[in-house]
Amino acid sequence: MSDVDVAANLKAVTDEIAAAAEQVDRASDAVTLVAVSKTHDADHIRPALDAGHRVFGENRVQEAQGKWPSLKDDFNAVELHLIGPLQTNKADDAVALFDIIETVDRPKLIRALVKAIDKIGRRPGCFIQVNTGEEEQKAGCLPDDTDALVAQAREAGLEVLGLMCIPPLDEEPSLHFALLADLAKRNGLNQLSMGMSGDYETAVTFGATHVRVGTAIFGTRPKPVA
Ligand SMILES: *Cc1c(COP(=O)(O)O)cnc(C)c1O
């Protein structure tokens, strides 16, 4: 048994979100907590479900396929977010399992998702991932390409809900949160997925509608994941 109290951590993070929202006169229920359960096994995730939490994030399709179908059998109304890079050859599997795909970042993936949606008969909502730090190794479209990619995704028939970003580790995240909020606004998008364990309160003050929090809820991950 792990000595991490997942239910207590969930409550603490939820309270912090509410406090941050209040600071900027936002309603606390305007922020969805995506509990990032990557690398954790079903037994470590279950206490969060028992506590009534229903929104989770995973970053690998195959790993999620291993644990979520049976958890979804045991608990109703689970909403699963894909928050890791998606390869086009996994588009069918992703569309079959996930409710929201947060990492749409290139035309080829848009085409693969449209095809998968037709084939599988499910239509997950999507976020366009923006590489706000223009980091070489990081997924996401460049800020300058965001407008075109949003337009393309919409034209192709994806349900584009908002934008997502992962700021560079060694930079002040606020600038990135502000940039993402700007890009969303000018594209008529009102959902922003930004903020992780280290900076979710800041993200909420910059308008995050979704924060993706793993470590602060489930504790340190068993193995490092990129
Ligand atoms: C792992 C991960 C998170 C959660 O990170 P923590 O620092 O553990 O809260 C959030 N977003 C993405 C895209 C991730 O891969």
Distance CA 185, CA 22 (A): 22
Close Cβ partners of 221 (under 8 Å, ≥ 6 residues apart): 38, 39, 40, 214, 215
Mean pLDDT across 5-32: 97
Q: Determine whether the shortest distance from the Cβ of 53 to ligand 1 is under 6 A.
A: no
The pTM (predicted TM-score) of the whole model is 0.97
Distance CA 121, CA 195 (A): 31
Residue with tokens 């207590």: 8
Q: How far is the CA of 186 from the centre of ligand 1 (A)?
A: 26
Q: Determine whether the shortest distance from the Cβ of 203 to ligand 1 is under 6 A.
A: no
Distance CA 39, CA 221 (A): 6
pLDDT in tens, 144-203: 999 999 999 999 999 999 999 999 999 999 999 999 999 999 999 999 999 999 999 999
Distance CA 47, CA 4 (A): 10
pLDDT higher than 60, residue 1: no
Measured by CA distance, the residue closest to atom 13 of ligand 1 is 83
Measured by CA distance, the residue closest to atom 14 of ligand 1 is 83
Structure token pair of residue 65: 């396929």
pLDDT of residue 159: 98
pLDDT in tens, 118-137: 999 999 999 999 999 999 99
Task: Give the confidence band of 3 by pLDDT, cuts at 50, 70, 90.
Answer: confident
User: Regarding predicted confidence, which is higher, 225 or 200?
Assistant: 200
Q: Cα 33 from chain centroid?
A: 9
Mean pLDDT across 209-222: 95
